Structure 1
Amino acid sequence: MILQFNKKYFIIAVVLFAIEVLIAIYFKYGFIRHTLGDYLVVMLLYCFIKSFVKAAPIIVAIPVLIFSYVIELLQLINILETLNLNNNHLLKLILGSTFHISDLVAYTLGIISVLIIEYSITKFSPKKTNNI
């Protein structure tokens, strides 16, 4: 794992963030807000980390998935209420406030999609040679 800025991943992360903001503003409920948003958020986190860290896709994907699961499980124990932060609308938006098993499925499918895309790109990209 090497610290190295990657402009492509950063641009993708910014675009995904913009999409997430638009979803938060324009979709208050329904499939797009509750499922597509969760599906995309793991992609956003993955691309953001890959913007600064050069590592194999699986090395980044697994911690992102675990982090997402932990956040969802904190919703199960109602962490915002426990910490008396349930009136903080920004934290509610970022961390969520209700546990849903379907969110775990969306996170998992999002990471699987990222890995399929990453390994497909790697498989079909031309290999660099050191021939002079």
Structure 2
Amino acid sequence: MADGDALAVRLRAALPAKGLSERKMFGGVGFMLNGNMIAGASKRGLLLRVGKERYSEALARSGARPMEMRGRPVEGYVRIDPGGLTDAALLGWLALARAYVETLPPKVRKPPGRSR
């Protein structure tokens, strides 16, 4: 099992089933809570949405670095190195992400429309 796949299995077990969905994104699996991204798992590690208010706090934790897209940091999202991501550390990271994502209004995914 690839690292990203193993991490996805761990996330499925640790995240609440109610309101949880998955989608392929960022080269791995994105986990959505009530339609809002909470976490992602890939070979690069754990991706978490922590919000702008707790972004600096999250970056100060061991193993965290900014998430980057096209060479630019995306404020409010952090990437966690997979090495040393114990079960306790994973639960702590997910608690931080849930504290933010649960404040967001639920998103309803729109069905793909037909183009005219």
Which has a greater percent of strand?
A: 2
Query: Which entry has the higher C-alpha Rg, 1 or 2?
Result: 1
> TM-score, structure 2 length as denominator?
0.28
Which has a greater percent of helix?
A: 1
> TM-score, structure 1 length as denominator?
0.25
